[in-house]
Structure 1
């Protein structure tokens, strides 16, 4: 089956939800998701590096103005949520927000545009939205999870880490096993909910575009795809913002010190 001549809507949908993969079993790699996520990350770095080098103190250009507004917005958000001192939080928040936004933005490309081009080059499958792949979102969430542990040890030490997970919510050593179990569930649920929230929203958005393309004639698709694309711009931005905010909140919670009697 090809994109240009699908055998049925079911086959068309199945085709568009299949990643370009190599390997088998656990060692299966979604090449398309890795390619687009890394490429968009490099674009973000090169774009901001170039703008930073060409920044002027006079009247800024439109692109410089947009970047400055994003940086000021992220910086204000970090200051409002993170009370500790860290040189990593603001750059991390900026990277998370812009990178996730760029990956989400791929969902606005015509659903068959890049897959058709790559099909002519001999590649049978291609998914262009990295955040619609649970492997990408959960990998980012695991990165945040590791930072949570690092910041907990950094700000609270080993003793504070142990107290944090054995004296909450019941502040007595007799309840340490119960506290530890409850806190572990809370700790593990943070990266799971962080990754699955982004994946679920972007997967649903991508699926709606695919359904519109599969079930409607080409000349009438814009009646639904255009309004959904306009509304989806809000979802794309909101999901990037939520991922950034939750990252800041989790790290702020990890760096908050409390005394236990």
Structure 2
């Protein structure tokens, strides 16, 4: 009963450990998970660099080539590689980083029913940071292609001037929806893990946990794909010229 009550009182913002620095509060588990995800990608990148070949590719090279090819195809179809070639490395990096970060929770390391290395996207601060990064860079890309003044006018007025207030609200909502979509789906997974820990006795706990972890892999993949795809779409909207609309 105590376990069920504790599971039902899970709140957003709970973390295994925090620390203070320069008057700011840092979520230690989020920083740890983010660092682990980054380290995994760096190791994969150096492994790829050491083993890259023009012949038959190895597993790591094949993995990166598959992801790169898929992202290049999406960018080419939506924007065009000649217009925004720089979107490919950004979208690919975001996809891989979010994917690894989401899959961290599959590691069987738990404390009190919570993942010791939780997916960092279960912390809204992590998803806000990624969304702000995308928000800033697609506006920078739009200003470079259209010109700063023309981009600002197009951003506010769009194709119909009287819709300016709606356009502004829509633009401000993009990073919020982008971050909360990722956060909500991943945070829901962490709640399910806690509920499973509370609902089942320890001797059969592994069975439902394994099933949910496998489903979590799929959800993590889909959410990483959606985030990178929306990033490409936002760059497409920001770099589109009025004469290209028709």
Rounded Cα–Cα distance in structure 2 between residues aligned with 1:130 and 1:82:
30
Residue equivalent to 1:95: 93
Residue equivalent to 1:119: none
Rounded Cα–Cα distance in structure 1 between residues aligned with 2:225 and 2:172:
22
Rounded Cα–Cα distance in structure 2 between residues aligned with 1:102 and 1:181:
38
* Greater gyration radius: 1
1:65 equivalenced with 2:62 (yes/no): yes
TM-score, with length taken from structure 1 = 0.81
TM-score, with length taken from structure 2 = 0.86
Q: Deviation string for 1:126-155 (max 9, x for gaps)?
A: 452101110000110011111122112111
Residue equivalent to 1:231: 215
Rounded Cα–Cα distance in structure 2 between residues aligned with 1:87 and 1:165:
22
Q: Deviation string for 1:212-245 (max 9, x for gaps)?
A: 0122111222332222222222111000000000
Query: RMSD over aligned Cα, in angstroms?
Result: 2.7
What 5-or-longer segments of structure 1 have no aligned partner? Answer: 1-5, 117-124
Rounded Cα–Cα distance in structure 2 between residues aligned with 1:127 and 1:61:
29
Match of 1:36, SS state, is helix
> Which of 140, 149, 163 pairs up with 2:130?
140
Alignment of 1:241-256 (within 5 A): 241-256=225-240
Question: Are the counterparts in 2 of residues 17 and 127 from structure 1 also a CA contact under 8 Å?
Answer: no
Residue equivalent to 1:120: none
Q: Deviation string for 1:141-172 (max 9, x for gaps)?
A: 0111111221121111133123213433524x
